[in-house]
Structure 1
């Protein structure tokens, strides 16, 4: 009965979203604020794949109507936690006698996400740990939820996104969600990253506690910090230090290890009291083949040279674009938006002129989406990079991207 109720609510939210989009497509004015409020309320309670999709969409705040983007962004910071009695069900399922393992567990979570929430606990030895608790029953309803998410995503065809691209995006989303429920795999990722970066003085990765972890709960040693989304009021030195570390870490991840943290939710990162970057969540890590990185850098190289023909060819080689491709003028405008971020010297990621140009370009990109198509196997990668970019924007980062990318471009040209 509970599963059928979820399905009905998801179908209702999907229908309401489709109605707003159709009204806009027919020349009317949709109440995006009201839709956003309804989605926030419904998805905050339901959790799961649809909430995750909405969180992904909220990171594209240069694409969505501002009122809708603002409401969906609340899902990343204000989503209502699941009541303690339901969470306790999962803890009992994992541990049996909870009191045997912990002297205290805080009933109010200090983090709540789409697939689980985090509670602070104290062991009988006096150690403070955090418990990432999977929402009860979510694994059982995941597949039926995904069916409804696929139906909602079909609305993307109204934006001229071919069905094959939507199917590819859905498959990437489905795989990532299934992996997020694999807590033993995340514990292994935490251990791998701790070993990889054990000598990096600027990074902190919590220690997984395998003896307290299992299929439904991931236990980690507590690491305090100020969430990235709350660093807007921090001093400039702290923000710039975190931004530098984040950019360096992402570059090293991609080009030294062929991996990328694919859940750039701002709540997954923090700054500790020593100004180090804390990476809390490694439930979504994707591999990025060397050939894909080379192709991406070749596209960037063409972009920085303001060469629209080379940009079109690079996109074609990556498996994107259809027919005659997009108008060359669109490529030129894209280059004019992107290239300034890679000019020699420090570039200010909080420069509103850059965001204004990107916002003005977005409708033109979507108007040409039937010809200008992103490669199907890079959609999750692109979404992750986009999210990390906006984290740098939130930090007001000032970075020398020219210096950082110059050797990578040289390597791509030689490939």
Structure 2
């Protein structure tokens, strides 16, 4: 990865994005699809932090213009792969003579991500493994890339996002990416999660082969499945089972273990032939302190009660409102949009009326950003939960969220 050329291209993408955002801000016409195509082409080749940021943004289905969100979403499944010769160079540097370990390695990857790509391999013992290989040179260009991403994120000020929040989001992204450079840490997370959920017959987690794991290569057993993003046409029973498993797993993650898998894009989850949930990627796991979780549930309870004053109090307790004057009318409309998903009985996450109301509210939320701000220390948690919400939407989930949340709200009261 050549640093100078990457910097020049990132600056060019940033300028093009800034121009589009400015035109939109001034009421002009913006071709969001064309911008999305340009970002997809540029970022899928460059990889690294900027591509990771775009993948994060693509999960904000209710915020971005649909044409832009759709193009960025392609980065989760259609990113341009790196040539096999470059990947082989990394494997040789880590393992030495590949023929001594593997009888075969597929040169065409079956997945390409922001920090690495995935190849199947077969050992001389006949075991099929997955090799997640970090892109060569990524460690050397990471800090330079992050500096350019920070410049690009300043464009968010045009959307009235205060600099302190942009800085917090950047630091969250930077810390996460630096942590993802060490694949040994992910191997350890796989081991921890396999032990933690050994009692869950409906959850499958690949097993790391520690002897073959290095800081730049993660070797794990191959677990075949249909990615969550491809389940939209699957039988309804299969989708509902996966949706229920996903909701159960998230609840146990948060309220039993105080951690959360923080990369919810749909390519990280799948379903096998038995209808079990497969969890592929554990490169990003965050702690969730009980006190923070309890305060967020206070906000949910106030929202479900459709009590704008209580919503404001909870948001202030979270450190998430700035300026003068609570936007009570916006609180009321937000509560009215969210509350139907938590009414007693089975609720349909595929109900387009709910998403339409949320999308219609987005411009008003952005317009009130000088008063409403997501708390800096809950940005990653909020983004992750939002991503899982949209995973449930994609599955067309039908869940009794009222029954699921009542014990959690009671738990939150016991924490105070």
Q: Which residue of 2 aligns with 1:301?
A: 301
Q: State the match for 2:211 in structure 1.
A: 211
Residue 360 (structure 1) shift: 0.6
Does the 8 A contact of 2:130 with 2:222 survive in 1? yes
TM-score (structure 1 length as normaliser): 0.99
Task: Give the aligned partner of residue 255 of structure 1.
Answer: 255
Note closer, same or farther for the CA distance 1:96–1:362 as it changes in structure 2 (3 Å cut). same
Superposition map of 1:358-369 within 5 A:
358-369=358-369
Write the distance in 1 (CA, Å) between the matches of 2:282 and 2:25.
Answer: 39
- Aligned partner of 2:188 in structure 1 is 188
CA distance in 1, matches of 2:78, 2:408: 39
Looking at structure 2, the residues matched to 62 and 407 of structure 1 have their Cα atoms a distance apart, in angstroms, of 28
- The equivalent of 1:74 in structure 2 is 74
Partner of 1:376: 376
Displacement after TM superposition at 1:5 (Å): 0.4
Q: Which residue of 1 aligns with 2:64?
A: 64
Return the alpha-carbon distance in structure 2 between the equivalents of residues 391 and 90 of structure 1. 34
Q: Which residue of 2 aligns with 1:153?
A: 153
- Structure 1 residues 1-400: aligned runs within 5 Å: 2-400=2-400
Deviation larger for 27-36 or 382-391: 27-36
Structure 1 gaps of 5+ residues are none
C-alpha displacement at 1:387, in angstroms?
A: 0.6
After superposition, the C-alpha distances for 1:239-272 in whole angstroms (9 at most, x for unaligned) are 1000000000001100111111100011100001
Give the C-alpha shift of residue 65 in structure 1.
Answer: 1.4
What is the alpha-carbon distance in structure 2 between the residues aligned to residue 389 and residue 326 of structure 1? Answer: 26
After TM superposition, give the deviation of residue 26 of structure 1 in Å: 2.0
Cα distance in structure 2, aligned partners of 1:325 and 1:402: 31
> Separation in 2 of the partners of 1:175 and 1:276?
32
> 1:326–1:368: 8 Å Cα contact kept in structure 2?
no
> C-alpha separation between the residues in 2 aligned to 1:353 and 1:344?
18
> Does the C-alpha gap of structure 1 residues 254 and 10 become closer, same or farther in structure 2, counting only changes over 3 Å?
same
SS at match of 1:260: strand
Contact 2:61 2:390 in 1 (8 A): no
Q: What is the CA–CA distance in structure 2 between the aligned matches of 1:27 and 1:191, rounded to whole Å?
A: 52
Structure 1 residue ranges, 4+ long, deviating more than 3 angstroms after superposition: none
CA RMSD of aligned residues (A): 0.9
Structure 2: runs of 5+ lacking an equivalent: none
Q: Write the distance in 2 (CA, Å) between the matches of 1:382 and 1:53.
A: 15
CA offsets, 1:179-214, max 9 Å, x none?
A: 111211100100000000111110000000001110
Q: What is the deviation of 1:154?
A: 0.4
CA distance in 2: counterparts of 1:25 and 1:252, whole angstroms: 42
Contact 1:299-1:315 at 8 Å conserved across structures: yes
> CA offsets per residue over residues 333-373 of structure 1, 9 Å max, x none?
11011111111111100000000000011111000001011
Q: How far apart, in 1, do the equivalents of 2:182 and 2:403 lie?
A: 38
Write the distance in 2 (CA, Å) between the matches of 1:339 and 1:389. 14
Partner SS for 2:406? helix
Aligned length: 415
Q: Name the CA distance, whole Å, in 1 between partners of 2:28 and 2:167.
A: 29
Q: Is the 8 A contact 1:348 1:398 kept in 2?
A: yes
